[in-house]
Structure 1
Amino acid sequence: MTTTSGSSIISALGAGSGVDFIKLAADISAATFAAKRDQLTARKSTLEAQISAVSQLRGAITGLASALGDRVRTGDLAARPQLANPAVAQVTVPAGLSPSGNFSLEVTQLAQSQTLLSRPLASAADLVGQGTLTLRFGTIASTTTGGATTTTFTPDGAQAAIDITVTDTDTLASLATKITSASNGAVTAYVATGTGGAQLVMKGREGAASGFVLEATGQGGGAAAGDLEYFGWSPAGDTGLLRQTARDATFRIDTVEMTSPTNRVTGLPGGFALNLTATNTGAPTTLSFGNNTAAVSGVMNDFVSALNDIVGQLNDLAAPVGGELGNDPGARELRRDLAGLAGRVVMPGATGTEPRTLGDLGLAVNRDGTFRLDTARLNRSLETNPEAVAAMFTVGINGVFSTMDRFARENSLITDPGSLGGSLKRYETQMASSDDRLARIAEEQEALRLRLTRDFTASERRVAASQSTLQFLRQQVDIWSARDR
C-alpha cells in the first residue's frame, strides 16, 4: 500500500478509530469507477476481436490478389512458344505478355564480334613501349572487285575514340588490362601464349558497328617489338591478325528482312524475344504459340478454393449470433461483392464470343454463397477463344489479376465507411477513445483516493484529540473520587 502523509500522521499519533482509512479510501475510489472501468474494458475486448476479424478478412482478399499476381508474373499461364526447329533459336515471352499466331523464321546470319590478335612478343612480361594507343570503333567491310578483295574501316561517329596511355613499365599483360578497363568492356583483352609467342587476344562486342582499329603512337622507333607502334592495326595493313569480323544478325520473320546487332532480338510481334543460335538459310522453320490450358484450369481451381476459404472465414466472423462482425457494414459489403464476383468484367474490350467476365472462365456462385468451377464453361472458352483466355492472365490494366487487385483495394479503403477498411478505421478510432477514457478514469480515481485520504486523515486527527480529552477527564474523575473516600 502506498504510504501518504495522512497515514504517517495517524501512525505517529498512535491512536485513532482503529479503522484503516487508507485502504478504505482506495477501496471507495476503486468501487466508484468500477462499473465504468469494467464496461470500457469489456468494450476494448470486443473491439480487439473486431479489429482482428476485419484484419483477417482484409489479409485474406489481399493475399489472394497478391498470389494471383505472382502466378501471372511467372509467365506459366501465358501462351507457350513452339519452334519446329529448336536448334535455330530460343524463344522467350516476358511475363504479362501473350503473343499469338504463327510465324516463319529464317536465320541467314548470326551476329558476331570482332576478334583481333596482336603481333607476338616473347612473353607476357615483355615491355610494350610507351606512348598512346587509340581505339576507334566502326564497321569493317570487305568488297571484292575483279578478283581482288579490299577491306575498309568506316568510323562510327556515335562512338567516341578511346585513348589509352601506355608507360615505359607496361608489359603485354598490363596492356591487356588497360584495354579492357579503358574501354569499359567494349573490347576485352587477354594474353595467350602459343607456339608463336605471347599475343594479345582482343574481342569486341557483337554487331557490325562494334568493329575497331588500333592506332599506336610510340617513340618513333618504327613498327618493331619494343615500340608501341608495333601494336597498331588497321584492315589495310592486316596480315592475318583479324580472325573474325564484327557483324549483325540477319533473319526473316514471315519473309520480312530484319537485322539485329546482337543475337538477342526483342521487340517482335506480341512482345516475344529470340536468342538466335544457328542459321537455317533456305529452310524456314515455324514458330507458333499454344495456350497452356492445363495451367489455366489449375489456377482457376486454386482460385475457387481460395475464394471458398474466404467465404468460410466470412461466415464464421460475420455470423448473426456469436460473430465478431455480425452487424458490420464492411462484412456485409464484402458478402455482396463476393456474390457478384462471377459477373465482374475482366476484359471490357472483349467482342463477340470472347470471354469477358470471371463467369466466362468458369467461376460460378452456389446458392449458399460458396463458389464452384464450371469446367464446361471454362473448357468452352479455352476451345473457342484460347488466345483471349490467355490475354486475361496478364499484368496489364485488365485481366484476372487487375480485377482481383481492384476488388481487394475497394474492400480495404479506409476512406469508405462501408468497406472493411472503413470498419477497421472505425474500430481503431473507438479503441483509441476507450484507451483515453480509461486513462481519464484512472486519473479521476487517483484524485478521489487522495481526497478521501486527506478527509479521513483529518477525521482521524479529531477522533484522536477527542479520545485524548476523554482520557484526561477520566483520570481527573478518578482523582476526585479518590479524595472523597
Structure 2
Amino acid sequence: MENPGSSIISALGAGSGVDFIKLGSDISAASFAAQRGQITARQEALTAQVSAAAQLRSAITGLASALGDRVRTGDLAPRGNVANAAVATATIPAGASPRGSFSLEVTQLASAQTLVSRPLASRDALVGEGTLTLRMGTIAGASFTPDAARAAIDITVTDTDTLATLASKIASASGGEITAYVATGTSGAQLVMKGKDGAANGFILEAASINDPAANEAGDLSYFGWTAGSTNATLNQTARNATYRLDGVAATSPTNSITGLPGGFGLNLTGTNTGAATTVSFTTDSSAYTSVMQDFVAALNDIVGQINDLAAPVGGELGSDPGARELRRDLAGLASRVVMPGAATGEPRTLGDLGLSLNRDGTFKLDNARLTRSLETSPDAVAAMFTTGANGVFATVDRFARENSLTTDPASLGGSLKRYETQQAAAAERLAKIAEQQEALRERLTREFTASERRVAASQSTLTFLQQQIDIWSNRDN
C-alpha cells in the first residue's frame, strides 16, 4: 500500500528535495538495529542449543526403544519348541517371557458340530414351507442341553425357498454361529451345517411345517428337522472341547488355540498324544545376550561421543548446560545400577554383572569374561534380566532415558530443552514486538516529515510569488 506521505510529497513537488519516506524508514530501522541484532544472535544460539539437546535426548530414547524391540520381538525374545511337532506349536505374544519347560499331553482336540441333511434331487429343489428354529447348546449322545443365554433363532421358510436359499437363510440368521452350504455328491444335493469349535456350540434344528400332519419327506420342511439322536440327518462330528494336561494338570479349552499359559505363552493344538506326553520348552540363544551387550556398549559410546562434542567446555552448544552434565553423571553410574533388586546371592543384579564396564575417559567397554561367567553360572538369571517386566535391563535403560527426558526437571536434559524452547519463543515474541515498535516509529516520522515538507513547499510558493511581484515592480519602474 502506498504511504500517504509519499503521495502528498509528490503532489507538492518534493519541495525540499529530500526523500523523507526513506529517511523515516532508515531512522526507525537504525533505532532498533542493536536490539534486533542482539536478539537474532541469541536466537541462533538457542536454535543450536535446542538442536543439540534434542539430538542427545533422541539418542537415549532411541537406545531404550531399540532395546525394548529386541527384548519383545528380536533375538532376545524366547523361542518356543514342542518336541512332538505333530501335537502343537507354541506361540509367544510380544512382551511375554515364558521360561523353562512343560510337559504336554493332548487327549482330545476341539471340534465343531457338522450336520448333513438327507439328500434332495438338486440344490434348486423346493424344501417346503414353515419355520425352522435353531437352538444352540450342548449335545451328549441322544441328549441336548440348550444354552439359556442364547436365544432360539426362528427362520421363516417360504414356498419358493430351495435348498440353496435355505442354506443362505440359515447362515444369515445365525449371525455367523453356523456355516451352511449345499454339497452335491453321489446321493444328490445335501445341506451341510457346521458350527464353531467347542462343546457349547452344538445345535439342533426344529422344523414346524405348514403341512398338518407333517410328511417328514422331501418337499416338506419337517424333512430338515433334527435333534440329538435323530436319524433325519447325519451327525458327522460332535462339538467338543479340547482336553489336555499341562505339567499333569487337566484342563479344557473350547478352541484349539489356547492362551494365557504360564509366562504368557499359548498353544495351537494340532494332534493328540494320549499317554505319551511331549515337552514344551523355551530358550534363548546365549550368543544373543553377548550380541546385544556388544551393541549396547557401542550405542552408549556413540552417546558419550555426542556429549563430548556437544557439551565441550569450549565451543560446545551445551558446554555449560546442567542437563548435559547430569546425563554425563548418569552414564558414569550406569554400570553399577541395580537391574534386579530381588536377585539371589551370587546371581547377576547389575549391568556391570553383564560385563558393562567404564573406561577412565568415560567411554564404555564390554568385559566379556564377566559376561561369560554370568551366562555359565546363572543362565536363567541372565535370561530374566532381559524381559519387559518392572525390573531388568530394558526397564533400567527405559527409566534412565525417561529421567533424563523429564521436562518437569530443570536439571535434566528434557528440562534444558524445554527452557531453550521457552527462551526461543520469548525471543521470537520480542522480535515481533520490536517490529511493531519500529513500524510505529516509521509511521510517526513519516507524518512529521510530510508535515515539514508541506511547510517547505508552502514557503517556496510564497517566495516564488514575491519574486514575481518584485519582477513586475522592477519592470514598471523601467
Match 2:209 to one of 215, 218, 235:
218
Q: Which residue of 1 aligns with 2:163?
A: 172
Residues 97 and 391 in structure 1, CA contact (< 8 A), matched pair in contact too: no
Q: Residue in 1 aligned with 2:427? A: 434
In 1, distance between residues paired with 2:303 and 2:376?
Answer: 30
Asked whether 1:389 is paired with 2:390, we answer no
Q: Pick from 162, 178, 185: which aligns with 1:194?
A: 185
Question: Structure 1 counterpart of 2:280, which letter?
Answer: L
**Are residue 103 (structure 1) and residue 105 (structure 2) matched?**
no
Alignment-derived partner of residue 147 in structure 1: none
How does 1:52-451 map onto structure 2 within 5 Å?
Answer: 52-74=51-73, 76-142=75-141, 151-219=142-210, 220=212, 221-238=214-231, 241-451=234-444
The alignment covers a number of residue pairs equal to 476
CA separation of 1:457 and 1:33: change in aligned 2, threshold 3 A: same
Identical pairs, percent: 74
Q: What amino acid does structure 2 have at the position aligned with 1:242?
A: L
> What secondary structure sits across from 2:110 in the alignment?
coil
Aligned partner of residue 34 in structure 2, secondary structure: helix
CA deviations 1:263-309 (Å, max 9, x no partner) are 22233333322212122222222232223322232222222222222
Q: 3-state SS of the aligned residue for 1:241?
A: strand
Relative to 1, partners in 2 of residues 1:398 and 1:465: Cα closer, same or farther, differing over 3 Å? same
Shift of 1:230: 0.5
- Secondary structure (helix, strand or coil) at the match of 1:356 reads coil
Residue 474 of structure 1 and its aligned partner are, at CA, apart by 6.1
**Equivalent in the alignment of 1:146:** none
Aligned-residue Cα RMSD (Å) equals 2.6
Deviations 1:224-244 (A, max 9, x none): 111111011123322671122
Amino acid at match of 1:211: G
Is contact 2:118–2:232 with CA below 8 Å preserved after alignment? no
Secondary structure of residue in 2 paired with 1:257: strand
Question: Secondary structure at 1:252's aligned position in 2?
Answer: strand
Shift of 1:472: 6.0
1:148-199 CA distance string (max 9 Å, x none): xxx4333344443332222222211121122222222322111111111100
- Taking the aligned partners of 1:68 and 1:456, their CA distance within structure 2 comes to 69
| Residues in 1 aligned to 2:305 and 2:138: alpha-carbon distance in whole angstroms | 68
Question: Does structure 1 retain, via aligned residues, the 8 Å contact 2:117–2:232?
Answer: no
**What SS does the aligned partner of 1:368 have?**
coil
Residues of 2 paired with 1:239 and 1:473: CA distance? Answer: 132
41 and 250 in structure 1: CA distance in 2 versus 1, 3 angstrom threshold: same
Work out whether residues 291 and 386 of structure 1, in 8 Å CA contact, stay in contact via their aligned partners in 2. Answer: no
Match of 1:236, SS?
Answer: coil
- Structure 1, gaps ≥5 residues long: 143-150
Query: Is the CA contact 1:90–1:275 (under 8 Å) kept in the aligned structure 2?
Result: yes
Q: Measure the CA separation in 1 of the matches of 2:8 and 2:99.
A: 95
1:254 Cα offset (Å)? 2.7
Asked whether the equivalents of residues 118 and 199 of structure 1 are also in contact (C-alpha less than 8 Å), the reply is yes
1:98–1:390 Cα contact (<8 Å) kept: no
Q: Show CA shifts across 1:71-111 (max 9, x none).
A: 22216423322322222211122222222233222222222
CA distance in 2, matches of 1:469, 1:237: 127
* Contact residue 336 and residue 351 of structure 2 kept, 8 A: yes
Question: For 2:2 and 2:101, how far apart are their aligned partners in 1?
Answer: 92
Contact 1:108 1:281 in 2 (8 A): yes
Report which stretch shifted further, 458-467 or 338-347: 458-467
What's the secondary structure of 1:377's corresponding residue?
A: helix
CA distance in 1, matches of 2:240, 2:9: 106
Which range is displaced more, 254-263 or 409-418?
254-263
Q: Kindly indicate whether the alpha-carbon contact (under 8 Å) linking 1:75 and 1:96 is maintained by their aligned counterparts in 2.
A: no
Q: Using the alignment, how far apart are the partners of 2:452 and 2:232 within structure 1? A: 121
**2:257, 2:266 within 8 Å by CA — same for their partners in 1?**
yes
Tell me which moved more, 333-342 or 454-463.
454-463
AA of the residue aligned to 2:432: A
- Answer yes or no: is the 8 Å Cα contact 1:75–1:93 preserved in 2: no
Of stretches 329-338 and 18-27 in structure 1, the one that deviates more from structure 2 is 18-27
8 A contact 1:78–1:391 mirrored in 2: no
- CA drift at 1:391: 2.4
- Is the 8 Å Cα contact of residues 291 and 387 (structure 1) preserved in structure 2? no
Q: Which blocks of at least 5 consecutive residues in structure 2 are unaligned?
A: none
Give the aligned residue type for 1:56: Q
Q: Distance in 1 between matches of 2:25 and 2:16?
A: 18
CA distance in 2, matches of 1:251, 1:426: 61
- Secondary structure of 2:362's counterpart equals coil
* Alpha-carbon distance, 1:416 to partner: 1.2
- Match of 2:17, SS state, is coil
Relative distance call for 1:384 and 1:162 in structure 2 (3 A) is farther
Whether the aligned pair in 2 keeps the contact of 1:104 and 1:287 (CA below 8 Å) is: yes
Contact 2:115–2:233, Cα closer than 8 Å, also in 1: no
Give the distance between the partners of 1:343 and 1:118, measured in 2 at CA.
73
The 8 Å contact of residues 330 and 418 in structure 1, kept in 2 or not, is answered as yes
Give the C-alpha shift of residue 39 in structure 1. Answer: 1.0
Range with bigger deviation, 8-17 or 34-43: 8-17
Q: Deviation of residue 459 (structure 1)?
A: 3.6
Does structure 2 retain, via aligned residues, the 8 Å contact 1:218–1:227? yes
Aligned-partner Cα distance in 1 for 2:313–2:209: 93
Q: Secondary structure at the match of 2:156?
A: strand
- Structure 1 distance, partners of 2:376, 2:175, is 52
Q: Distance in 2 between matches of 1:244 and 1:8?
A: 99
